[in-house]
Amino acid sequence: MPLSDNVRNAIVDAVEQGFTDQIEFTKALVRFPSTRGQEHEIMAFIAGQLSDRGYEVDQFDMDPAALEAHEGGGRITPEHSTAPIVVGTHQPANETGRSLILQSHVDVVPAGPDSMWHHPPFEPHVEGDWLYGRGGADMKAGQAQIFFAMDALRRAGFAPAGRVHLQTVVEEESTGNGALMTYLKGYDADAVLIPEPEEEMLVRANVGTLWFQVEVQGKPVHVREMGSGANAIDAAYRVIAALRGLEEAWNAEKTDHRFFEELDHPINLNIGKIEGGDWASSVPSWCRVDCRIAIYPGMKAADAARQIEDTISAFAADDPYLSNSPPTVTFNGFFSEGYTLDPGSEAEAVLGRAHHAATGEDLQSFVTPGYLDCRVYQLYNRIPSLCYGPISENIHGVDERVSVESIRRTTIAMALFIAEWCGVEAIET
């Protein structure tokens, strides 16, 4: 049922009242340099914040065997984070409303060279409308929004009339195993909202993602007899060119994929890291290349993996050197399918009303060519999965920043969404 004017106004006021604290809280989150594997401290902080607010707190570890057995489980390597997953639960005394998951991730990608940043990446600061810092947009602003949207309801004198799980995960940037772990642990609800920085729009469809490493062996000799050796780095370049061919072939199929027809280049292959060789005057004997590629929704990760392997082995078979020394391929991270959000769900209608009340605009949707945890909820929980959040720039780049006014607007929208989706009951304040 749409919210009454009184309830709506009280919630909007409550978000405004908490907003200065919310930005300080966001900055506090950015100060944790929570790159992959370094999230234990921030997770302890999150657990403390949840318990201070009276949520029932559940902390649990990744279950590598269960994750590996699942078709969407990211491949586990020694770099896989061992930080716990933390879930806080609001359980209404008298549960009459729809349930909801609010999810965020606290892992952030490496900052890159500090010298390229105008301010140190983990020292957040606000300049004009922008809050700067690694992870501020992706997605510590969203993490704070989850806390403060729920706090605003309470400050306005309401509690959600449905069960709400506040789920904080890791491994969003490399495997998606954190979100998958919450599913394997049994967490479920009638809908999920993930406040990733999505330009105040709703994600309609999203690609799947695979990570893999190609290893090429060379034949090491002194450079004076280079012709008798084989250069692993040169050979790796040839393999990369073959993979670019696969990338173009997949992009050429975009018109067969609903929602992807209009995108310029939906399938991006990123050569993310390359290492090899030992010495400038020795023909290199080894080269390793770390790659990330996207796949359309509907394609299984295992099928895509097979096509990647086939592309490399077919190329190697025709290459004079590689035919005798074929490259090896190891999947070492994301192994995920994409998803689409079917238009017309009640959850989307409720978010549309909340967004309109907060911004005066109709809610737009768009398609993103990057990984999102929503795939777990859409594909496995089979619930409407809403990815929606503030305007940002330079995520995964330098001088990552998120718009403060956009945080304000989307927090109002989130609070109104929670209130209407779950319903509210009056509480003593």
Residue ranges binding Zn ion (CB under 5 A): 138-139, 196
CB environment 352-362: b (16+ within 10 A), e (fewer): bbbbebbeeee
- Beta carbons of 377 and 181 less than 8 angstroms apart: no
Q: How far is the CB of 148 from Zn ion (least distance, A)?
A: 18
Q: How far is the CB of 83 from Zn ion (least distance, A)?
A: 16
Q: How far is Cα 7 from Cα 353, in angstroms, rounded to an integer?
A: 14
Task: Considering the complex, state which of residue 151 and residue 196 has its C-beta at the smaller distance from Zn ion.
Answer: 196
Q: How far is the CB of 232 from Zn ion (least distance, A)?
A: 34
Task: Considering the complex, state which of residue 97 and residue 133 has its C-beta at the smaller distance from Zn ion.
Answer: 133
Task: Considering the complex, state which of residue 58 and residue 196 has its C-beta at the smaller distance from Zn ion.
Answer: 196
Q: How far is the CB of 106 from Zn ion (least distance, A)?
A: 10
Q: How far is the CB of 119 from Zn ion (least distance, A)?
A: 21
Q: How far is the CB of 196 from Zn ion (least distance, A)?
A: 5
- Beta carbons of 335 and 375 less than 8 angstroms apart: no
Task: Considering the complex, state which of residue 133 and residue 162 has its C-beta at the smaller distance from Zn ion.
Answer: 133
Task: Considering the complex, state which of residue 134 and residue 155 has its C-beta at the smaller distance from Zn ion.
Answer: 134
Q: How far is Cα 102 from Cα 96, in angstroms, rounded to an integer?
A: 19
The bridge status of strand 385-387 relative to strand 192-194 is parallel
The bridge status of strand 269-276 relative to strand 286-295 is antiparallel
Task: Considering the complex, state which of residue 176 and residue 327 has its C-beta at the smaller distance from Zn ion.
Answer: 176
Q: How far is Cα 366 from Cα 395, in angstroms, rounded to an integer?
A: 18
Reference 7, options 249, 328, 357; nearest CA is: 357
Task: Considering the complex, state which of residue 138 and residue 199 has its C-beta at the smaller distance from Zn ion.
Answer: 138
Task: Considering the complex, state which of residue 216 and residue 402 has its C-beta at the smaller distance from Zn ion.
Answer: 402
Q: How far is the CB of 168 from Zn ion (least distance, A)?
A: 12
Task: Considering the complex, state which of residue 29 and residue 139 has its C-beta at the smaller distance from Zn ion.
Answer: 139
Q: How far is the CB of 215 from Zn ion (least distance, A)?
A: 29
End-to-end C-alpha distance for the chain, whole angstroms: 24
- Beta carbons of 330 and 218 less than 8 angstroms apart: no
Q: How far is the CB of 108 from Zn ion (least distance, A)?
A: 8
Residue owning tokens 């073959």: 242
Task: Considering the complex, state which of residue 149 and residue 357 has its C-beta at the smaller distance from Zn ion.
Answer: 149
Task: Read off the tokens for 348.
Answer: 């989307």
- Beta carbons of 392 and 138 less than 8 angstroms apart: yes
Cα dihedral sign, 299-301-302-305: positive
Under the phi-then-psi rule, with left for phi > 0, alpha for psi from -120 to 50, and beta for the rest, what region is 145? Answer: alpha
Q: How far is the CB of 409 from Zn ion (least distance, A)?
A: 19
Q: How far is Cα 237 from Cα 247, in angstroms, rounded to an integer?
A: 15
- Beta carbons of 192 and 101 less than 8 angstroms apart: yes
Under the phi-then-psi rule, with left for phi > 0, alpha for psi from -120 to 50, and beta for the rest, what region is 358? Answer: alpha
- Beta carbons of 366 and 199 less than 8 angstroms apart: yes
Q: How far is Cα 313 from Cα 396, in angstroms, rounded to an integer?
A: 32
